[in-house]
Amino acid sequence: MRLRHIPGSEDFVREAASVVNAPEQYRGNWSTFFRKEAPLALEIGMGKGRFLRELSAREPERNFLGLERYASVLQKAIERKEREEREQGKRERENLYFLWEDAKRLTEIFAPGEVARIYLNFSDPWPKAGHAMRRLTSSEFLKLYDAVLAPEGEIWFKTDNDGLFEWSLEEIPAAGWVLQDVTRDLHRDVPAEENVMTEYEEKFSARGQKISRLIATRKKC
């Protein structure tokens, strides 16, 4: 699906208080940025941000970063976060910030072992075989995750795309990861109160579309 560009979105994102500019300056020191020692979770390709808004409210003991490469999409996430805070009379959530970045820069932004968990929610499936290395569960990206995740770090991956999920079930173990939990019908197998939904997930599940999820950890040597 082609993204609609919002004129001025780049400047909007650059000036937003909830966006971390030049995040590489905090590499190895994110706990100082958040002003507390806490496990750091990262969502890659965060879209409009519903997942992280809800999860960060549920888990105030964690620090959260949402990474999005498209300024127009990130602007919508920022606007929704600010609107939610105004409507609920809340202060800016101090455990949730956003990154306007490409995931290929992960090792420039995070030091080894600095991230406790990575969320991949409804990532672009890149269905053409020639584009396989662009998939966020490809061996190329798995190398980046391995470089920044803590020894007990996890990847949580959700999708409605059966082809991408089956491909990932082969790609991830082949890259040296261990599959800890796999379901091809998340909403049947996991209690609703334990699953935070994204905007896409709510829409797809309302149509009766099954959602698949896996959790992977780094293989211990």
Q: What's the start-to-end Cα distance of the chain, in Å? A: 41
- φ, ψ at 104 (rounded to 5°): -65, -15
Question: Which H or E element spans position 26?
Answer: none
Active site (annotated) includes residue 124: yes
Q: Is 19 helix (H, G, I), strand (E, B) or coil?
A: strand
CA distance 36 to 211: 35
DSSP conformation class of 124: -
Question: What number of other Cβ atoms are within 10 A of residue 106's Cβ?
Answer: 23
- φ, ψ at 155 (rounded to 5°): -115, 125
| Annotated catalytic residue, options 11, 102, 124, 162 | 124
The HSE-up count of residue 96 (CA atoms within 13 Å, CB side) is 23
The residues annotated as belonging to the active site are: 124
